[in-house]
Structure 1
Amino acid sequence: MDWLGIGVTIIGIALFVLVILLIKPLLKLAGVLRNLQNTTSKLPEQVEELTDQVKDTLHMGNKTLHEVNKQVKELTPIFHMVGDATRAANSISASMTNAIMQVRNSKSEGNAFTSKNHLEGIYGLVTLAYFIMQYNKKHNTIDMN
């Protein structure tokens, strides 16, 4: 046997030992790749199911949003009426307060009398009743015209 034959024999034995050592890890790698193939083969079906669920959820969300918008449109006039009533009540209250303050400031004798006899609350109530009657009287004459 010459040197070339001995070298080829040593290389062959080294490759044989290498193959024997690599059999177990290569078999495990084959198993991992097989499991990966099984998992990825189910993936399109799972993605399709998820897509269908997302479509249904978005459809229900849009439907709910349309219903809420419809209900808000129905309630908007009520909100406007409440706002108008609040502004009107505020205006009336402010005008009554101004009128009461003018009468109170202009009648110093009455102020002294009410302060002396502790009749501020009654005086305010009577003044308020007077201005309510004047207000009603004023608006009734406007309605008749």
Structure 2
Amino acid sequence: MDWLGIGVTVIGVAFLILVIVLIKPLNKLANVLGGLQKTTDNLPAQVDDMMSQTKNALQSGNDTLAQINSQIKELSPIFHTIGDAGRATNHLSTSIADKVMKVKTETAEGSSFITKHDLEGLYGLGTLIYYVVQQQKNGKSHPNV
């Protein structure tokens, strides 16, 4: 029985030394866990605040997009008018180019002189001016303009 008592006493002293050695690290661990608890206690309020700010930002973005959509709807007829004017101008320039080419091909005997002296551009300009003046004299304008 003496040996049993001595063994229990040695084990008890060993545990006492172990506890004394581990007191400081365990206190530090308790402080870290306490700080972590303080941080996580504030987390739900911070997440709620962040979510409300995100909701406000998204709502503001949706309002801005709705305003832009309404402004685009107001400008849509202007874009259609510009497109119609572009198509009419394209048709007019095509018909003028056709007239210039027709006059150019009808004057085949003078074409060697024109190409020899590089007068194609000047000749085309003169034809264009002649066509416009004739249209103004006749009081006609292009039907699609």
* TM-score (structure 1 length as normaliser): 0.82
The CA distance in 1 between the partners of 2:141 and 2:83, in whole Å, is: 27
Is the contact made by 2:100 and 2:124 (CA closer than 8 Å) also made in structure 1?
Answer: yes
The CA distance in 2 between the partners of 1:117 and 1:139, in whole Å, is: 35
Aligned position for 1:105: 105
Determine which structure has the larger helix proportion and give its number: 1
The CA distance in 2 between the partners of 1:46 and 1:87, in whole Å, is: 59
**SS at the partner of 2:18?**
helix
Matched, 1:74 2:74: yes
The CA distance in 2 between the partners of 1:60 and 1:44, in whole Å, is: 24
Aligned position for 1:61: 61
The CA distance in 1 between the partners of 2:51 and 2:72, in whole Å, is: 31
Aligned position for 2:6: 6
Q: Percent identity between the aligned chains?
A: 52
**AA paired with 1:106?**
E
Aligned position for 1:42: 42
Aligned position for 1:86: 86
Is the contact made by 2:135 and 2:141 (CA closer than 8 Å) also made in structure 1?
Answer: no
How many residues are matched?
143
**AA paired with 2:59?**
H
Is the contact made by 2:114 and 2:120 (CA closer than 8 Å) also made in structure 1?
Answer: yes
Unpaired segments ≥5 residues, structure 2: none
Q: Pick closer, same or farther for the CA change 1:98–1:29 going to 2, 3 Å.
A: same
The CA distance in 1 between the partners of 2:142 and 2:37, in whole Å, is: 89
How many Å apart are 1:71 and its aligned residue?
1.3
* TM-score (structure 2 length as normaliser): 0.82
Unpaired segments ≥5 residues, structure 1: none
Stretch moving more, 133-142 or 101-110 = 133-142
**SS at the partner of 1:108?**
coil
Kindly report the root-mean-square deviation, in angstroms, between the aligned alpha carbons of the 2 structures. 2.7
Q: Pick closer, same or farther for the CA change 1:117–1:35 going to 2, 3 Å.
A: closer
Aligned position for 2:130: 130
Residues 57-116 of structure 1, C-alpha deviation per residue, up to 9 Å, x if partnerless? 001000011111111111222122112211211111111111111111112245456567
The CA distance in 1 between the partners of 2:48 and 2:37, in whole Å, is: 18
How many Å apart are 1:131 and its aligned residue?
2.6
